[in-house]
Amino acid sequence: MPSLKDLKNRINSVKNTRKITKAMQMVAAAKLRRAQEAAEAGRPYAERMNAVMASLAAGVAGSEGAPRLLAGSGKDQTHLLVVMTAERGLCGGFNSSIAKLARNHAQELAAAGKTVKILTVGKKGREQLKRDWGHAFVGHVDLSEVKRIGYANAAAVARQVTAAFDGGEADVVTIFYSRFQSVISQIPTATQIIPAKFEEGAATSALYDYEPTEEVILADLLPRNVATQIFTALLENGASEQGARMSAMDNATRNAGDMINKLTIQFNRSRQAAITKELIEIISGAEAL
């Protein structure tokens, strides 16, 4: 049975924790709005890019001279997994669910006899994958100093990825990130970016003039498309992270409130018990006289 003083300290400490989680929740809410705006601002570009790429790719697909980024290197031996997570924790299952998806994927590939390489973006995913897949790490991109993710950050990651592909160090590249659905739901997603895949049926039927030729445009756009997809993923991830943190902190705040109530009841009971005990002692003392 804890003493009254212990209980009082306990209540105060939980109250402080609640203040912190409440503050984090509000900060996350403000950041979420900004992250969502950024994700939305990037959407038109990604959509148009995808539409044009799909129609271009449909025209070139199957032909002999298709660019390697589209057709692949002809093998699927080495898989590069780009795992994008947050730089910070305290955001519920956000980082773990991405890491879990990547881990499962890596295990499947390894079981099928493929070589797995992992490039991590964001510290938390690296920490979680280190134990099982530390030997497969080929690099890490640190974004902890970056306040606002810009296209330049994505382009840098894309350069690393395409360099690995061009150098024959990877045949298939897949990115792992969390798609932002709503504040309470973020979906860990795996998307293959090299060789590029496009949704069928998106192709426009209009007959375009191409300047310069279709192939040259495609060769120019494919690397950009890789960067765009990575950028979109980073933005989605940013929004997801804040959303996950917001709901995690909301839960934590509520739990802290429940705990304070429980402890307060316990505190009041103990105090009352002490008072009753003293009274009994006094009364029985008086009766004895």
Partner 1 sequence: MAGNLQFDLVSPERKLASVPATEVQIPGAEGDMTAMEGHSPTITTLRPGVLRAVTAAGVQSFVVTGGFADISPASVTVLAERAIPVAEATPAVLDELLAEARAEAAAALPADKAQAEKTVNDVAALREAVLKH
Query: What minimum distance in Å lies between the beta carbon of 16 and partner 1?
Result: 39
206 binds partner 1 per the rule CB under 8 A: yes
Q: Pick out residues in 136-195 that bind partner 1 (CB under 8 A).
A: 150-151, 154
Q: Pick out residues in 65-124 that bind partner 1 (CB under 8 A).
A: none
d(CA 77, CA 116): 9
Beta strands 78-84 and 137-141 are unpaired
Nearer Cβ to partner 1 (91/235): 235
Q: In what order do the strands lie in the sheet with 78-84?
A: 137-141, 115-121, 78-84, 172-182, 185-194
* Region from 4-12, 49-57, 174-182, 276-284 binding partner 1, contact rule CB under 8 A: 49-57
Give start and end residues of each alpha helix (H) in 91-192: 94-111, 123-133, 151-166
* Region from 68-76, 86-94, 102-110, 204-212 binding partner 1, contact rule CB under 8 A: 204-212
26 binds partner 1 per the rule CB under 8 A: no
142 belongs to the catalytic site:
no
224 binds partner 1 per the rule CB under 8 A: yes
- Catalytic site residue from 70, 82, 91, 226: 91
Count residues binding partner 1 (CB under 8 A).
28
Helical packing angle, 214-288 and 151-166, nearest 10°: 120
d(CA 138, CA 80): 9
Looking at residue 125, its amino acid is G
3 state DSSP class of 185? strand
217 binds partner 1 per the rule CB under 8 A: yes
210 binds partner 1 per the rule CB under 8 A: yes
d(CA 7, CA 85): 39
By annotation, the residues acting in catalysis are: 91
Residues that bind partner 1 (CB under 8 A): 38, 41-42, 44-46, 48-49, 52, 56, 150-151, 154, 206-212, 216-217, 220-221, 224, 227-228, 231
